[in-house]
Amino acid sequence: STNPAPARVAPAPIASRFGMDEPEWVLDDFDKGDASAWKAAGWANPAMLSTSNGMLKVELMEGKSDKVAVGRSIRLDMSNRTRLMMDIVNNTSRSAQLAVAFIGGDASRYLETMSLAVKPGLNQNLTLDLTAKTFKSAESEWKHNSAFDNAQAVKQLFLLIYTRGTGEMLIDNLRG
């Protein structure tokens, strides 16, 4: 069966939903079983998204890219955040890599973090350092030497799962 084209989701107001002024904040925990804000990006391998046991379920599908990208539109000021954390259950038999991409700022600049290893099984507290000059972009010629300089106006956020083949990843507790 085919899924209808997803409706465009209006972004949440800046900070009001995510407790950005709190020492700890949660962007998404999927406990309500709602993954409707998240979409598979057409510029990467296809994926089917749903929720399972209060987690975002990403069913990886074959494609020509080296990654699956799932993202959401958002309006978020992350300039006072030092990290982004999440828990991932890798239900494949192979290791993968995970990076996060942010699109934001006046020119909608794309910045991508360095990747983290995601071993098969449970990976708790995977942590990306948002303060390190280890982001890559077109301006850095795709070298990991840029700062997160569009953090004050994030418009889109993508989870990039670098792996080939099919399988399933469960993502939970996207937080800082």
According to the model, what pLDDT value does residue 20 have?
56
The residue-averaged pLDDT of 25-45 equals 91
Between 44 and 27, the higher pLDDT residue = 44
According to the model, what pLDDT value does residue 7 have?
43
- Give the Cα separation of 163 and 154 in Å (integer): 26
pTM to 2 decimals? 0.86
- Look at residue 127 and tell me whether its pLDDT is greater than 70: yes
The residue-averaged pLDDT of 107-127 equals 95
- Tell me: the pLDDT tens digits for 41-75? 999 999 999 999 999 999 999 999 999 999 999 99
Tokens of 92: 């494949």
The residue-averaged pLDDT of 143-167 equals 94
According to the model, what pLDDT value does residue 1 have?
43
Of the chain, the percentage scoring pLDDT greater than 90 comes to 72
CB-based contact 146:66 (threshold 8 Å): no
